[in-house]
Amino acid sequence: MALLEPDERELVQYIYNSIPETDRGNLTEDDILLVLDLMDDYLEEAGLLRVDPLTGDSEYLDGDVDETEQLNYVLEAVREEGRKISSVQIQLIQDAELQYGIEHGYYEEE
């Protein structure tokens, strides 16, 4: 797995451990990191994430995320990369990332 900040590593491991083994298949922590990066790419394109080009610092902006649109965006990008990550696995990663965010106070439960 790429060099990650401790909080990023914790998130990736949380997500990996949240996915049932039967759904995990050959999914790796690097695959999870790719999906998380693509989720952020979607948010940036949707105007919900601002990244400072000089520092790389990110600021998440208020707004609603269309999870289906995000899923389709990520699935298409994963296929373009030639990775074998299913839509079910992407959805499980999205769900686990949301749950992690709720548990750590980043998101509010709806």
The stretch 91-110 carries a mean pLDDT of: 86
Give residue 53's identity as a one-letter amino acid code.
Answer: P
Q: In the beta sheet, which residues pair with residue 58? A: 51
The 10s digit of each residue's pLDDT in 2-31 is 567 888 899 999 999 999 999 999 999 999
The CA distances from residue 45 to 37, 38, 39, 53, in Å, are 12, 10, 10, 15
On whether the pTM is more than 0.75, the answer is yes
